[in-house]
Structure 1
Amino acid sequence: MLAATGAAGAAVVGIAACEPTTGGLSSIAVAVTTDKTGTRTLERLGFDVGWLTCTANMRSGKASASPSARSVATVDCTGDTKTGQDITLKGKVTEERSGTCVRGDLIAKVNGKVVFEATMLGNCAGTPTRTPARTPPATHRPGEPPEPTVTVTVTVTATPDQAK
């Protein structure tokens, strides 16, 4: 089990090292942070989360001359409670802070019923521990194919001996 966890962690680090960032957002960071903060929020509301998988998707290479332009990642999480109820957490994320917080527009449902709507999950009060990356200049030229879409999926399974 420990070896599998270490291998999965190394794979995530390897993916993150190769992934371009757009306006400081990284799809891997958005997926992992939404998974972690979403699970905590659901458990705080009384739902015993069995597992949750989050996928974040964003367009890379979209640059803007406007300094106020914000990157947006679409996040889609699915999972189950330990009693077999379906969980979904979906929305748009505009900010991720070092694994502690995501901001955007998110809706969580358990068995199809909305259990929370949030513009923030986690602790966003603190200062980010890293400086967001600058958006690289646009490289797309007319007649060339658009930049690829980066999609990352992260699955976290809760076990009875895990600390909350």
Structure 2
Amino acid sequence: MVACEPGTTLSTATITYTTDQLVTQELERRKVEVRWLSCTADFGDRATPSPSASESTVADVDCQGQTNDGKDITVTGKVTRAVNGACVRGDLTAKIDGKQRFQVTGLGDCDATTAPPLAPPGGGAGPTTTVTVTRTVYCQNDPQCWPEGK
């Protein structure tokens, strides 16, 4: 799934998932053991991101988390581009216990044609997908069947 091709819109789900994944990877690359990190994205006053590829789409990002040794992690900034699981572009600042750990204009590979694997090399838990199927069964000839024969 690619979220930044011309003609498509940038979604908060793509931004939050990708920012969470790539910031965690960057912190761990910098020898910070991340216990957890959770991100949110907001398009501000707009109900939806701009629909045109020629317009700037900017989402405010806010992440909160904690290191394995109990220090607070905060990541704030603006994201202008995200490719699901592969890259984010914009301006992001990560702090640990209030001290800046990094400031970047992008993370990951925006030229990637596919997202990286969900599970880390060597195994480990990754995100899961739940599918709910709803079936309507008609039973009009059964007097016990309610409501309206369904």
**Is this a same-fold pair by TM over 0.5?**
yes
Q: Any residues of structure 2 matched to 1:2-151 within 5 Å, and which?
A: 24-58=9-43, 59-61=46-48, 63=50, 68-127=54-113
1:104 alignment partner, SS class: strand
The TM-score normalised by the length of structure 2 is 0.66
- Given that 1:91 and 1:104 are in contact with CA atoms closer than 8 Å, whether structure 2 keeps it comes out as yes
- Given that 1:78 and 1:89 are in contact with CA atoms closer than 8 Å, whether structure 2 keeps it comes out as yes
Aligned-residue RMSD, C-alpha? 2.5
For residues 66-116 of structure 1, the C-alpha deviation after alignment (integer angstroms, 9 at most, x for no partner) is 752111111100100000011001100000112211000000001111110
Amino acid paired to 1:44:
R
Consecutive unaligned residues in structure 1, runs of 5 or more = 1-21, 130-160
Deviation at 1:51, TM superposition (A): 0.4
Query: 2-side partners of 1:36 and 1:57: how far apart?
Result: 18
CA gap of 1:86–1:126, structure 2 versus 1, over 3 A, is same
Amino acid paired to 1:53:
S
Structure with greater Cα Rg: 2
Query: 1-side partners of 2:73 and 2:49: how far apart?
Result: 32
The TM-score normalised by the length of structure 1 is 0.60
Runs of 4+ in 1 over 6 A off after TM superposition: none
Deviation at 1:127, TM superposition (A): 4.2
Tell me which residue corresponds to 1:162.
Answer: 124
Aligned positions, number: 111
- Given that 1:29 and 1:96 are in contact with CA atoms closer than 8 Å, whether structure 2 keeps it comes out as yes
Tell me which residue corresponds to 2:147.
Answer: none
- Given that 2:40 and 2:61 are in contact with CA atoms closer than 8 Å, whether structure 1 keeps it comes out as yes
Query: 2-side partners of 1:101 and 1:67: how far apart?
Result: 17
Amino acid paired to 1:37:
L
Deviation at 1:48, TM superposition (A): 0.2
Query: 1-side partners of 2:72 and 2:99: how far apart?
Result: 10
Over the matched positions of the two proteins, sequence identity in percent amounts to 46
Amino acid paired to 1:73:
A
